[in-house]
Amino acid sequence: MNVLARVVGRAAAGVVALVLCDAPMRADASQADLDARIRSAFDSAYNLDHETALATARRAAIDAPDESRAHRTLAGILWLQALFHRGALTVDHYMGGLTRSTVTLPKPPAAIEQEFTASITRAIDLADARLDRAPRDPDALYDAGAAYGLRASWIASVEGNVRGAFRTARRAFLTQKQVLEVAPDRLGAGAVVGTYRYAIAGLGFAPRMFAYLVGFEGGKDEGIALLEAAAGPGSSSRHEARTALVLIYSREGRHEDAFALLTNMAAAFPGNRILVLERGAAAVRAGRAAEADAILSAGIAAFDSDPRRKLRGERALWFYRRGLARLALERPEAASADLETALASGPEEWIRGRIELGLGKVADLGGRRAEALERYTRARDIARATNDPAGLAEANRLIDTPFSVTSRRAGPGRTVQFSRRGHRNAWMLV
């Protein structure tokens, strides 16, 4: 049960903004106007225009006080604001599930938490009341499932209580599964169901069997297929489903697919510099080091001139990513300069450990094994303290065997593979 609760909670936490703004086209003019406001609010949020997003969502909730999705939209915008305040909006935070460094980030402002609680409570109450009146109505089912899913995401990602999200996440899954039974064309519901099916498929045998007993379903391929359908051009939740797929593709090693999705998303939301950061990171993972360098260099220039509020530790992330790209390009001096800048830019503690790994690799490439071992040991200690299992495993490997690099040319442009004892692309711990 504990393992299942953690995995379900992580699924709730790791899918940022999943299907929050999905809404069918309405024939009624007032309903269509509300749908337009909801989409406008999320467009602003995805372009990091927080003030406009909040103002639009609040106005929609005031003008449509009896519509669950209006209050859910406001709660969704507030959730994104809370994640931004905590600095937990990147793939890094969810690649290995919630690390201790994620769940101990500072709490959001009390005003955001209070407004979220009031909004999501109102959304759930309205959805449940409508569902009582029409138990098989797909809109009522969807509104309830989406509201419970959002509450589960808040509990897991903001409160850090992944076990506490279990019951609410189960309600969201079962309700959205029922949506698919009565209205298979509601692709947003498929995205929610697909996310949990993917998560459950990764469990061990015993917790997976328990998950089936309490109503969840597994199936990695089926889960990804549901998300890919929701990410199609005809789906109103395509951007949200693509966000989930970026994370899943990264977990699955499908880095070219993640890079392609992020390229499309960055073009759709040109005001969102976090998508540019993630696109650069995906390019590094995909072996597109030269492209990553160009993407991240342009992003750093834009970051420095952007007056808007920044993520916690964001500047360090930009230089850390470009440092990895330049390490892959066999530019150790430039990589070292970027990684040192990242180290001096206030990174989160577990990212500090990853930066130490990168600097250790630079030292190994320069034949400075004693310095490399000092860096790897420091990285290992940080990884233990922040519960970063991937960083810990990499540090232990590099302490055992020096880092080395082998270059090759493949297709248009230069790619670099680093290896140790057959561990291909061990450098790609990003």
Q: Which sign, positive or negative, has the C-alpha torsion 163, 167, 169, 170? A: positive
Q: Is residue 190 part of a domain?
A: yes
Instruction: Please report which confidence band the pLDDT of residue 424 belongs to, taking 50, 70 and 90 as the band edges.
Output: very low
Distance from C-alpha of 144 to C-alpha of 172, rounded to nearest angstrom: 7
Residue in 309, 306, 372 with CA at minimum distance from that of residue 85: 309
Number of domains, the chain? 2
Burial class (CB in 10 A: 0-12, 13-18, 19+), 377: middle
CB 65 within 8 A of CB 2: no
Tell me the mean pLDDT in the region 387-401. Answer: 95
185 shares its domain with 300: no
Closest Cα to residue 89, out of 100, 102, 76, 78? 102
Q: Are residues 180 and 282 in the same domain?
A: no
CATH number of the domain encompassing residue 308: 1.25.40.10
222 and 277, same domain (yes or no): no
Q: Is the pLDDT of residue 275 over 70?
A: yes
**Domain final residue pick, 199, 226, 252:** 252
Predicted confidence band at 218 (pLDDT cuts at 50, 70, 90)? very high
Q: Is the pLDDT of residue 25 over 50?
A: no
Asked, for residue 262, whether it belongs to a domain, the answer is: no
37 and 108 part of one domain? yes
217 and 349 housed in the same domain: no
Q: Are residues 105 and 246 in the same domain?
A: yes
Cα(261)–Cα(281) distance, integer angstroms:
13
Using the 3D structure, point to which of 252, 279, 313 is the last residue of a domain.
252
Weakest mean pLDDT among 24-28, 209-213, 246-250, 389-393: 24-28
Q: Kindly report, residue by residue over 364-375, the tens digit of the pLDDT.
A: 999 999 999 999
Segment 226-233 long-range contacts (CB within 8 Å, at least 24 positions apart): 226/190, 226/191, 226/193, 226/194, 226/197, 227/190, 227/191, 227/194, 227/195, 227/198, 229/187, 229/190, 230/19, 230/187, 230/188, 230/190, 230/191, 230/194, 231/191, 231/261, 232/187
> Which of 252, 282, 300 delimits the end of a domain?
252
pTM (2 d.p.) = 0.86
pLDDT over 70 (residue 9): no
Q: Does residue 93 lie within any of the structural domains?
A: yes
Domain extent, residue 159, equals 2-252
Query: Percent of the chain at pLDDT above 90?
Result: 69
Q: Give the 3-state secondary structure of residue 4.
A: helix
Q: Is residue 221 one of the residues assigned to a domain?
A: yes
pLDDT of residue 414: 34
Residues 147 and 242 in one domain: yes
Question: Considering the domain boundaries, does residue 67 fall inside one?
Answer: yes
| 205 & 274 share domain | no
In a domain, 257, yes or no: no
Question: Is residue 289 situated within a structural domain?
Answer: yes
Q: Is the same domain home to 215 and 303?
A: no
Verify that 12 and 140 share a domain, yes or no. yes
Looking at the DSSP assignment, which residues form a beta bridge with residue 95?
97
- Specify whether 280 is located in the same domain as 231: no
**Predicted confidence (pLDDT) at residue 167 exceeds the cutoff of 50:** yes
Contact 182, 141 (CB under 8 A): yes
- Residue 247 and residue 180 in one domain: yes
Model confidence at 103, in pLDDT bands (50, 70, 90)? very low
Report which of residues 427 and 134 the model is more confident about: 134
261 is a domain residue: no
